[in-house]
Structure 1
Amino acid sequence: MDKEKVIKGRGAQLRVHNRFDALKYETRDDFLEYCRLEGDEAEDNKTQYIRVYPKTIVNKVDSPDIGMMYSMNPYQGCEHGCIYCYARNTHEYWGYGAGLDFERRILVKEDAARLLEKKIKHRNWKAYPIVLSGNTDCYQPAEKKFELTRECLKVFLKYRHPVGMITKNALITRDLDILSALAADNLIGINISITSLSERTRRILEPRTATIKRRFETVKALSERGIPVNVMIAPVIPSINSHEILPLAKKAAEMGASSIAFTVVRLNGAIGQIFTDWIKKTMPDRADKVLHQIEDCHGGQLNDSRFGIRTRGEGKIADQIHGLFHLAKQKYFKDKGMPKLDISLHEAFKNGQMKLF
């Protein structure tokens, strides 16, 4: 890896143009040379937290490929910096880029808990699991400062409302008290994303996430308290982590996970450009091989928007991934799975206390 060309602590290595913007940002060579002579940095690599105040927080999910009906995201943008993240494209709707902006401009929805409470107290609302982090990680570094996710969990517990969570951060163990209380009523399901057993791979693929060791420890800590955990081996990237499916599944089972799941990587929108630039800088020896194998999974393109295929892939390489995953489930998770969450309790607690009659 050429350290002079890599921005430390970031996944994306460039800013990319927002397709909705009329103006385009460019870093010219003469400006870079001026900064070098002056001893200045061309741009600030620090994370900025920007407070925003949307009118609603719960979103209906229409995609048939995603196993959720409702999601909510206390934060937009994600400092974890996972290079493959599908959520990068959504940052363009907020006026930012999908590259470095996605990792350095974090939008903080300070009213998240209040908006959630308003939604699930509405007389027409019928309980159905709401998933935290359908788009960006609710336990990313910003959560340590703002604690919006913890406040939302308190709302779910108060109204006995089912909730799902997706994260790759060990910070979730901070909230074991609330999570355990939710689990006692079968109101919580956790998805922990673990994409590799290699710390080197983790550092360049997901630079600001919890270590692999801490993530497995998190799976164990949750499972030991009766909190069901699904390990997401996602995304599977050919020639980067595709060979790790079986050992990852074995380790997940040993740590007490209830189930495993996976997706095949896809590089839609601006992510194709961002990923291609990244892999040529971080893995130049296998960049072309990886890119061609990803294309093989998606009809010859990095971009794949076909429902039913885009997250599963097709072709020989995708078939091999599916075969390995089927074997992993049969070997380590046969007759196991995540419980169906209870949607019956919420109505009695809708007014903030249990109805007696």
Structure 2
Amino acid sequence: MTGVASYYLEFKARLRDRVSALLGDSEREEALRDPHSKRKPRPCGFTIHTGIGCTMGCLYCYIGDMGFPIDSIKPYPLSGVQLVYALLNNRYFLPGREGSLIALGSVTEPLHPAVLERTLEYIEAVKRYMGNHIQFSTKAYVSKTTAAKLAEIDPGISPLVTIVSLRYSSILERNAPKPDLRFESIRTMSEAGLKPLLFLRPVIPGITEWEFEEIIDEAAEHGAIGVVAGGLRVSRGIIDRLRDTGVDLREIEKRIKIPLGKLRAGVQYGVEVSDIKEKIAAYARRKGLKYFPSACMANLYTHGETCWRMISLGLEGQGSPLREPSKSSVEEALRDIGCSGFFKGFSEGYIIVEPDRGCDIVLAGELLRCWFKACVRFSKSRGKCLEDCGGVW
């Protein structure tokens, strides 16, 4: 094997041997059994769980539908070195600064006191042994001590501070720190040298459109460098919880493709909020903030890098010049993993590929995204298309 894939896989093998030597047999076996060794990349990168469960009590949260506890939280059982070993044995994970993006906070609160030390341990282990870019989302109050530790371990780490409502926060996020404490977290991390962003996720129709200007104003005043807005997904349980607390559901009902009474238990449904996100983007720019359509862009930006999609959207480029995808370079990269796909074009930051029947499109997508820093779309695939970051990155 030569070329793009060997660049990653040879580096991955060397790291795996190095990390393996730090673990005992039972520790290696535990890491190999762990889901992190098999997990596929998500829209924002590889989601890393630093805890199990969450106690914030957010009504719009989906982790209960996924089987995670919503009344307790405890540190994830793997050590930092074990986590790294699990990732280095994951078929789809690519290590290094030009490798897979990592996101913390998808199913737990990574800066909750009960799991904070484990979160810092994971960040330190990833940076020490692999160097991948890390992002975290949080509603926790971030002290000066924690901000300083984060900045020391990874000065480029991408902090997303979630604030979705000022007036309804005590209803929507019953046990989470109040928004004013989260604004202070933005200030504290900014003063520590980090580049915090406001995370307006989820956008909740009927609430967000009346509050986003005030939220963005406060975030900018406290030192946020930009905004990431994210969509809303609901399940029958989420709708029931919102209804029980008196939240007006009419705007949500207008924007979902299925009547609320027909939602199936445990199934998540997307709510159309693109018009609200466009207004958020326009206002953020007027305030002099960066607006990132997807969280992965913010992760690259705080680490001093860019991608082709960011350039196409007018976000100034940073870092080294990007590799430009071409028919020969893309198809060579695909052949290197045994995929005889066809390059169909490159436009507005998107590589279009038509894969063959036996192509592993998950691995192909991750390889092309990381190497070229471009979005990837598959056409006429017999497999399930890889949708990443809402079609971005």
Classify the TM-score, shorter chain.
0.5 to 0.7
Choose from 90, 97, 106 the match for 2:66. 90
Matched residue SS, 2:169:
helix
Residue 253 of structure 2 corresponds to 295
Contact 1:79–1:103 at 8 Å: present in 2 too?
A: yes
1:72-104 residue CA offsets vs partner (Å, 9 max, x unmatched): 11222210111101222112xx6xxxxxxx322
In the alignment, is residue 170 of structure 1 matched against residue 137 of structure 2? Answer: no
Q: Aligned AA for 1:291? A: L
Note the 1:3-82 alignment, pairs <5 A.
Answer: 55-56=33-34, 58=36, 60-63=39-42, 66=43, 68-82=44-58
Q: 1:183–1:227: 8 Å Cα contact kept in structure 2?
A: no
1:331-346 pair list within 5 angstroms = 331-333=286-288, 338=298, 339=301, 341=303
Structure 2 residue aligned with 1:119: 86
Q: Within 1, Cα distance between the matches of 2:150 and 2:274?
A: 37
The answer to whether the Cα contact below 8 Å between 2:75 and 2:115 also exists between their aligned partners in 1 is no
Give me the TM-score of the superposition, normalised by structure 1.
0.62
Per-residue deviation at 1:121?
A: 5.8
Q: Distance in 2 between matches of 1:227 and 1:208?
A: 26
Does structure 1 conserve the Cα–Cα contact (< 8 Å) formed by 2:53 and 2:74? yes
SS of the aligned residue for 1:103 comes to: coil
Whether the aligned pair in 1 keeps the contact of 2:187 and 2:222 (CA below 8 Å) is yes
- Structure 1 residue 260: deviation in Å? 0.7
Equivalent residue number for residue 195 of structure 1: 164
* Residues 88, 271 of structure 1: 8 Å contact kept: no
Matches within 5 A, 1:272-287: 272-277=239-244, 279=245, 283=246, 287=247
Matched residue type, 1:341:
H
Query: Counterpart in 1 of 2:189?
Result: 222
In structure 1, give the amino acid aligned to 2:62. Answer: Y
Taking only the aligned residue pairs, the percentage that are identical comes to 21
Equivalent pair of 1:78/1:106 in contact (CA under 8 Å): yes
C-alpha spacing 1:183/1:170, structure 2 compared with 1 (3 Å): same
SS in 1 for 2:73: strand
Residue matched to 2:175? 208
* 8 Å CA contact 1:89, 1:269 repeated in 2: no
Does the 8 A contact of 1:298 with 1:304 survive in 2?
A: no
Alignment CA distance shift 1:273-1:129 (3 Å): same
* 2:126 corresponding residue in structure 1: 156
Unaligned runs of 5+ in 2: 1-29, 293-297, 306-318, 320-393
Structure 1 residues 123 and 142, CA gap change in structure 2 (3 angstroms): closer
TM-align CA RMSD: 3.2
| Aligned-partner SS, 2:205 | coil
Q: How far 1:122 sits from its partner (Å)?
A: 5.9
- Bigger RCO (CA 8 Å, 6+ sep): 1
How far does the alpha carbon of each residue in 1:273-299 deviate from its partner, in whole angstroms, 9 at most, with x for none? 33333x2xxx3xxx4xx2221111112
